Each structure stands twice: as C-alpha cells, then as structure tokens.
Amino acid sequence: MAVRQALGRGLQLGRALLLRFTAKPGPAYGWGRTERPGPAAGRGGRERRGRTAGSGAEPRRLGLRLPDRYRFFRQSVAGLAARVQRQLVLRARGGAGPCGRAVFLAFGLGLGLIEEKQAESRRAASACQEIQAIFTQKNKQLPDPLDCRHWQGFRLEEYLIGQSIGKGCSAAVYEAAMPSVPQNLEVAKSIGLLTGRGQDSIPQGENEARAPQASAFPFAIKMMWNISAGSSSEAIFNAMSQELVPASRVALAGEYGAVTYRKSKGSLKQLVPHPNIIRVLRAFTSSVPLLPGALADYPDVLPPHLHPTGLGHGRTLFLVMKNYPCTLRQYLHMKTPSPHLATMMTLQLLEGVDHLVQQGIAHRDLKSDNILVELDADGCPWLVITDFGCCLADESIGLQLPFTSWYVDLGGNSCLMAPEVSTACPGPRSVIDYSKADAWAVGAIAYEIFGLSNPFYGQGTTHLESRGYQEAQLPTLPDSVPSDARQLVRSLLQREASKRPSARVAANVLHLSLWGEHILALKNLKLDKMIGWLLQQSAATLLADRLTHKSCVETKMKMLFLANLECETLCQAALLLYSWRATPLCKH
C-alpha cells in the first residue's frame, strides 16, 4: 500500500509541477499577478490567496485528471500534495536555488514520461479491442446449413450409410449421405470453413479407395457403443454427455430425451463453434443396426439379437458430423509437409486448444488420430480437433479438477498426458490444473508434424515418459525447422506448467514468426509501431478475404489471429521471441 500511495502522490505532484513550470503566469493562477494587493486584503488576504493557489481545487480547475487506476488515491493524498505543492511554488519563486529547481523539474518530467507510457499502453489496448471486434464478427459461424424445413436429420432411416471410416475404443464411424433430399447434397458439401473440397483435394494412398465416393458421402455418422448406459434416450444422453460438448445449436432439438438432457445437465459446458474444432450437426438415439463390417470389427458390443455373445444394449447414440478425408496420422503417413506448412499446422492446433481453454474446457485426449484433416484449393491442410469423449467440461470446476482419489477420471491417452497430470497424487486438497495440459500435448504432436517420431510413443532408448523425462532428453528437431518453432516446441514441453507458455501466447509466437518478421527485426519495438503493423495486417487480410478464389488457410489463420488479439498476450509473445533470439537454442 505504501508503494501505491507513493506512486499516487508522485503522479499528482509531477503533473502539477509540469504545468506550473511550463505554463505562462497570469491572473488565473493567483500567484503571478503584477498588481499589488489592496490594503483591504492585508496579510490575511495574501494567506487566503496562497491557500487558494496551493489547494486541491486548483488542479481540478486546470483540468488535471489521474488515470482511472489511481483515482482511488485522490482523496487520501490531496491534502499532503497540496502542502508539498505550495512549498515547491514558494521555492520556485525564489526560495530555492537553481539546483533544487532542476531536481524538482527532472522529477516531474520523469513522472510525465510514466504518464506517457501509460497513455501508449491504453492506445494500444484500445486499438487491439477495435481490431478484435471487427474480426470476431467476420469469424462468426454461418447458420447451420442442415437446419432446413424439408429435412430434419434426427432419424437414422433418413441417411444412406456407406462404408466404415474407422473405429476407436468407444465408437465406429461410417460415411453417410441424405438420398431423400437431393437438393441438400450440394449444400452439405459446403459445410465447414474452407472451399475447394472435392475429389482432387483428397490425399492419395491409404484412403485411395474412399476418394471416388467422398463427394457422394458428405457426412460421417459416429455410432457410440452402449454397454452400460441402458436403453432410454435420457440415460444414453446423460452417460455420453461429453460427446455432445461440440454440438451445434440445433443438434439436440429433435428428441424428447435431448430436451430432458438439456434441462438436467446444466453443469455441462456447451462449446462455442470454432473453425479448428469439430461441430456435431445432429445427435439422436436409435436402435443399433447391423452395419457393414460390424460382425468382424466389433461383435462384442452388438446387442444379443444381432450377435449371440454381444454385450451391448439395443439402443445407442448417433452423432452426425462433416466427413473429412483423413486423420492427421493418415495425412502424415502419406505426405511430409514443408517446414512452413508444418508450422501453420501446429499453429492451428494451438488456436483450437486456446479456444477450448477460453471456454473452460480441456480435451484431455489429443493425439494425431483425434485430429481430422481436409485440404483447401491450394492443397494446404486444415486441422480440426475431434472426439470429446474424455474432455473436462464441467461448469462447476472449470479447468481445476479435484483429485480426491484414484477413481477420478484424468482423461485418455496416458502417453500424451502432461507431467502435472501424470505425476499428480490424490488427496483431500489435491487439484489438477488442466489449463496448459493440452498445450503440452500439442508440443508432443508437433514432433510428428515436423517429420519425426513422437518421443512419447517411441521404442527403446527413444521412448520418453511424461512422468519422469528430463527436458534435455527431448530430441532435437531438424535444422530445416524454423528456429522459433523449435524453441516453441521445447518451451511447450517444459515440465513445470508455470514456465510453459499458454496456448494463446504460443499461437501468437507463431503468428509473429510467420508474418511479423520485419517488426521483430526492429531494435526498439514500440507499441505504436506494433499497432501500425496490426492495422496493415487487418487491411490486407480483409482484402484477401474478399478475393474468395484466393481465400486460403493462411488468410483464415490471420483472421483468427486478429479475432483473438490481446495487447498483453501479444507483448508476451514478442518478449519470448526476443529472448529466444538473444540466446539461440543450443544443440545437444
């Protein structure tokens, strides 16, 4: 409190000094009149004028205003500041020597510089807010293209089910179409952020057999395996509620059980749409059908009337989503992205994770199999995070999970579980902070994106465990990878979460590294210059977005960057880059 009071006094005094020493004397100030006071005034009149000149009322008459954060101290320091100012005025008029006046003037000028720095910060924050408002509006999702009066999509019979796309530990995914409403087929192809989706943009190789049918099956239906949830719609929705976190506004509007679920599960967060996160377009329960490959791929989870030894219930949950050509693992198996492209792919994951953190949600199962990929017209991959079955999305606890016993669910994919999660011990007051856990997983997945094996999936001497690895054991990324990206990956994989950058700061680091090189090259970077660069980026991005035939992944990433613009996190990212470039990464 003493420091704050001293700062408040200094600011008030400094501004008063500046005005007193630089303003021209005149009758308005009360101490610079040329005429002598009349006899009626006498000594008391002079004292009254002296008190008026030094009182706290004069700064208000001169228009002096402290910043909002210091107004709290105005009343407490007004009397003391008035007395000090009165003494300084007397000294300035002849009671003090040149040295004393110079000291007081230097002190006032120093405080004036502090005021100017504060004003620069306020201008920068205001400009960032205005830019953010513009691009937040631009990035708003369009209305659900499947929300039409002619087609509801809440019954399994409305879909044509194709071949199996894949299966996991809790569900099987099939390609699907809407044969009953042909006019919606073209609309369905346009779901999502990017244009240019078509047969030519589908990677060749492992998914080559799917390519001819991809345009005819724009959807994917995920059939959950129901072993313990019962057969009522309400029980199914409650048991599988985490899968519904990324559901769209109308996804749950077609079933009574969904309405009941909405009312009873008020503590579950509902994710705001984001272009790097999957959208569940429809969610409904239905009887389990015998789909292609079911008897061979998952006979044990089928209901007994479809397979004698099956353990599943006769009804389960179905989720309808966009059909993406492949997963990230499949894409990386077929193609090796360039370092620039790999950097943008890592950036997309950080943008998606940052959106989850801002919504108070932790995915807790990030891996290359749970990331989907599609290509834009130029062949640049666009990444989408999917599979929220293990997510933490509780309104009551946010990202702070009480770890009271070993029975608490810590999420899936133990290999990519952040150190603060994998080393946690249960106890009455034990709490796990997931705010940077997904960012750590992105750092591990970045090894795969940049062409190396994931060190936490490796074998033998290359295998690391998140519980006990040391940062010096992390493999070195190739020299072809940009230095900033290499530094960021190592920073994301720091064991101590407090030293790890947040997903927002990490994303800003890559944004600046990709598109702000000439700004970072300046020796003395000032906020005003940074704002000038941001305004240039805003104008160029808006122009590029209008040229729809050139709208690409790079333009979309710039729009996301500007929509999430915050002055504080941007400055943190710039400082990180400066520190890394001052001390280059040493090889080991």
d(CA 361, CA 354): 10
Regions of the chain where pLDDT drops below 50: 1, 3, 26-81, 84, 108-109, 111-112, 149, 182-214, 588
pTM for this prediction: 0.76
Indicate the DSSP class of residue 174: E
Tell how far CA 489 is from the center of its chain.
17
Residue with tokens 């179409």: 177
Cβ neighbour number for residue 382 with a 10 Å cutoff: 23
pLDDT at 528 (0 to 100): 80
Residue type, position 19, single letter: L
- pLDDT tens profile 280-297: 999 999 999 999 999 999
pLDDT of residue 8: 59
Task: Tell me which residue of 513, 506, 491, 497 sits closest to 585, measured CA to CA.
Answer: 491
Q: How far apart are CA 509 and CA 505, in angstroms?
A: 6
| pLDDT value of position 301 | 94
Q: What pLDDT, on the 0 to 100 scale, is given for residue 135?
A: 86
Amino acid (1-letter code) at residue 142: L
What backbone torsions phi and psi does residue 269 show, to the nearest 5 degrees? -75, 150
**E strands, 240-343, where?**
282-287, 315-322, 326-327
pLDDT of residue 123: 77
Q: Cα(72)–Cα(11) distance, rounded to whole angstroms?
A: 13
Query: What's the pLDDT score for residue 264?
Result: 53
Contact by Cβ (8 Å): 432, 360: no
pLDDT score for 397: 92
Partners of 160 in the β-ladder: 177
- Which tokens hold the place of 493? 């994989």
Residue 390's pLDDT is what?
94
Q: Which residue's entry shows tokens 């109308």? A: 250
Q: Give the number of other Cβ atoms within 10 Å of residue 532's Cβ.
A: 13
Tell me the catalytic residues: 365
- Categorise residue 451: left if φ over 0, alpha if ψ from -120 to 50, beta otherwise: left
pLDDT attached to residue 376: 84
Q: Which domains does the chain have, with CATH numbers?
A: 2-96 (no CATH), 156-327 (3.30.200.20)
